[in-house]
Structure 1
Amino acid sequence: MDIFLLILGFALMLLGVVGSLLPVLPGPSLSWIGLALLYFTNAVPANYWILGISFIITALISILDYVIPAKGTKKFGGSSYGIWGTNIGLLVGIFAPIPLGFIIGPFVGAFIGELIYDHKDHHRAFKAATGSFIGLLASSFMKFVVCMVFLGLFLWVVWTNKAGFF
């Protein structure tokens, strides 16, 4: 059973890294579940500090994932229409059958939202859409770093407890 949990945990860690770049998958949450599965094995002693701190980090990152693109839109002069456009564009972009729709969607959504707000000021709409794009990139980078740290922690714990597995 320990080997099964180890393999499943590692698969979730890898899926979490992929999910940190694709908004369809909750990357940090999947990585945390993979890390928690590692501690359910008999080979690894329970460490509630690591699980607790990593859970808090996962919760914060998950909340910030939705806040950062909207804040980027606002920071670059966007209105509430641009923020709503960013969120709607992100959802449409995820499910749209176009390559990189999850990147293009928030940009186009913020741009259209700002044009609805003020159809005469294309420059401000483009600036707000750029803020949305930068916010999305910052959010994805932050999730990627957290997932890579969790993966490194996973591998380190497996390595230090390898005698219990193999």
Structure 2
Amino acid sequence: MVSTLAWVALALAVLGVVGSLLPAVPGATLSLAGLLVYWWSTGYADPSLVVVVGFVLVAAVASLVDVAGSALAVRAGGASPLTAAVALVAGLVLGLVTGPLGFVVGVAGAAFAVEFYRTGESEASTRAALYATVGVLGSAVVQLLLTLSLLVALVAVVFV
């Protein structure tokens, strides 16, 4: 029989997967919290320490992708650090109000606007906005896959 804490752990992992697609929701942290709740509920016996360390590393990579993915993409598109910072803040603010689509639009729109203000070049500004959009979407896909892998592994640990 599966314990109540195991169900709580699984719920946290599911919220982590959902959170990986939503701005300002720490999906990887929620997934990791689910595993740690389960590990604690078993007296630190199941899963093994090696598996827990693996979970922590995967969650750390997912968190890093969450924080740095779009900013790195904006920079790769030739934008300034200021543009990357403004785009991230604009995406977070708009994302909190309107959800994931607002986050993408906020990042792309701010990247375009700041670069156009800074350089006056529409081609460079468009490139920065395009890289920002690809970065945000790519970051979301990577986070989704990582948190989904954490969920699948936790389900295997609990039920197998």
Task: State whether TM-score is above 0.5.
Answer: yes
| Cα distance in 2, alignment partners of residues 17 and 37 from structure 1 | 16
- Structure-2 residue corresponding to 1:66: 67
Equivalence map 1:110-125=2 (5 Å): 110-118=111-119, 120-125=120-125
Following superposition, the deviation at residue 111 of structure 1 comes to 1.1
**Residues 81, 110 of structure 1: 8 Å contact kept:** no
- Structure-2 residue corresponding to 1:163: none
Q: Could you tell me the TM-score, scaled by structure 1's length?
A: 0.86
Q: CA RMSD in A?
A: 1.9
List per-residue Cα deviations over 1:128-157 (Å, max 9, x = no partner): 011011111111111101111111111111
**Residues 74, 83 of structure 2: 8 Å contact kept:** yes
Identity across aligned pairs (percent)? 27
Following superposition, the deviation at residue 71 of structure 1 comes to 1.4
**Residues 40, 46 of structure 1: 8 Å contact kept:** no
| Cα distance in 2, alignment partners of residues 98 and 91 from structure 1 | 9
Runs (4 or more) in structure 1 with deviation over 6 Å come to none
- Structure-1 residue corresponding to 2:14: 14
Following superposition, the deviation at residue 15 of structure 1 comes to 0.5
- Structure-2 residue corresponding to 1:158: 158
Q: Which consecutive unaligned segments of at least 5 residues does structure 1 have?
A: 161-166
Aligned-partner residue type, residue 3 of structure 1: S
**Residues 85, 109 of structure 1: 8 Å contact kept:** yes
Higher-Rg member (1/2): 1
Equivalence map 1:127-146=2 (5 Å): 127-146=127-146
Q: How many residues align?
A: 158
Following superposition, the deviation at residue 61 of structure 1 comes to 2.2
List per-residue Cα deviations over 1:16-45 (Å, max 9, x = no partner): 010111122111110111112122223963
Following superposition, the deviation at residue 76 of structure 1 comes to 1.6
Compared CA separation, residues 90 and 154, structure 1 to 2 (3 A) = same
**Residues 23, 99 of structure 2: 8 Å contact kept:** no
